[in-house]
């Protein structure tokens, strides 16, 4: 019995992630899209685990599946959208709709096709699968990437202040 | 797992996100599709840094920065969207055309 469990895990993750991503893109209901997006984020965290980036997998679950999804669900609830269910359109009708019609699909398909054709033409080297420990990552962030790290923290502060100001009701002090 | 498996999944995920960002008209859904695209890029970063980069930390550090940017982007984007929704009761990007010439 010789099962490659990494392969099994990869196939499972691929199925879950791509199906969820497909539903995010196609489902008319915004709330469903948000919940499927959370599933896709957890699947992507699984990819990070397979790639040996445990810290990033944990951050992915905390930041994306936790914080970003919470903010999105709150935004959906607070926006008081009249058509939260959206209109259900068949795939055929979406592709032939007067609004851009088939062009988004063509652009995306051309991009993916070009990338995959390039990969198949010049096969990627196998590589040796080195992995960086959390200690390495921490050292790099506070030495090599110190300036981008500080800029990122200032950016987060600016985004926080901006979000508070933008979402404040007018006429409040 | 070979590197090509990860980059293939990442390319398909990016394509889906791109299609959604172009096709959907709901502002929240467009933000979600942009998040999908950023995540696809992150998979690429980590896969390449594990297999090809001489310094495996580099890709992970970039992934951390992309996550930071995505979080900032989503918070500001949703705040703008809430401000629009408060005035118009709609988050359809086709109806937000005040700046259209």
pLDDT at A4: 83
In sequence order, which residues have a C-beta less than 8 Å from that of residue A131 and are 6 or more positions away? A51, A52, A53, B50, B56
- Collect all residues of chain A within an 8 Å Cβ-Cβ radius of residue B65: 145, 148, 152
Kindly list the domain boundaries of chain B, sorted by start residue. Answer: 3-88
pLDDT at B72: 93
Judge whether A80 is closer than 8 Å to chain B, CB to CB.
Answer: yes
Q: Is residue B94 very low, low, confident or very high in pLDDT (cuts 50, 70, 90)?
A: confident
Percent of chain B at pLDDT > 90 equals 46
pLDDT at B74: 92
Task: List, in order of start, the domains of chain A with CATH numbers.
Answer: 1-88 (1.20.120.1200), 92-125 (no CATH), 133-173 (no CATH)
DSSP B52: T
Selection from B47, B39, B51 nearest residue B14 by Cα = B39
Model confidence at B91: pLDDT above 80:
no
Query: What mean pLDDT is reported for chain B?
Result: 87
pLDDT at A29: 86
Burial tier of A41 (Cβ tally within 10 Å: 0-12, 13-18, 19+): buried
pLDDT at B17: 93
Burial tier of B7 (Cβ tally within 10 Å: 0-12, 13-18, 19+): buried
pLDDT at A46: 94
pLDDT at A48: 92
pLDDT at A136: 87
Write the pLDDT tens digit of every residue in B28-72: 899 999 999 999 999 999 988 888 877 888 889 999 999 999 999
Q: How many CB pairs below 8 A link A and B?
A: 229
Q: Which residues of chain A have pLDDT under 50?
A: none
The SS3 assignment for B94 reads coil
Judge whether A65 is closer than 8 Å to chain B, CB to CB.
Answer: no
Percent of chain B at pLDDT > 70 equals 97
Q: Residue B26 pairs with which residues in a beta bridge?
A: B92
Return the CATH architecture of domain B3-88.
Orthogonal Bundle (1.10)
Structure tokens at A90: 């068949």
Q: Contact at 8 Å (CB) between B10 and A50?
A: no
């Amino acid at each position: 019995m010789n099962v490659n469990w990494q392969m099994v895990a990869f196939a499972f993750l691929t199925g879950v992630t791509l199906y969820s991503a497909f539903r995010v893109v196609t489902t008319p209901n915004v709330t469903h899209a948000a919940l499927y997006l959370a599933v896709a984020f957890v699947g992507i965290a699984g990819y990070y685990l397979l790639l040996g980036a445990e810290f990033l997998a944990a951050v992915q679950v905390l930041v994306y599946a936790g914080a970003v999804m919470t903010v999105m669900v709150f935004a959906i609830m607070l926006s008081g959208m009249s058509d939260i269910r959206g209109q259900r359109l068949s795939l055929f009708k979406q592709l032939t709709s007067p609004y851009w019609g088939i062009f988004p699909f063509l652009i995306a398909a051309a991009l993916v096709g070009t990338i995959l054709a390039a990969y198949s033409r010049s096969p990627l080297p196998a590589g040796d699968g080195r992995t960086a420990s959390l200690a390495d990552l921490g050292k790099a962030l506070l030495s090599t990437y110190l300036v981008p790290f500080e800029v990122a923290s200032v950016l987060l502060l600016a985004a926080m202040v901006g979000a508070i100001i933008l979402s404040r009701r007018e006429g409040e002090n | 797992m070979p590197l090509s498996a990860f980059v293939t999944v990442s390319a398909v995920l990016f394509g889906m996100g791109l299609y959604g960002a172009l096709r959907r008209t709901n502002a929240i859904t467009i933000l979600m599709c942009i998040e999908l695209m950023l995540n696809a890029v992150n998979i690429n970063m980590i896969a390449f840094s594990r297999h090809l980069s001489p310094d495996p930390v580099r890709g992970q550090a970039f992934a951390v920065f992309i996550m930071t940017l995505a979080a900032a982007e989503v918070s500001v984007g949703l705040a703008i969207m809430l401000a629009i929704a408060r005035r118009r009761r709609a988050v359809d990007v086709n109806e937000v055309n005040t700046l259209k010439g």
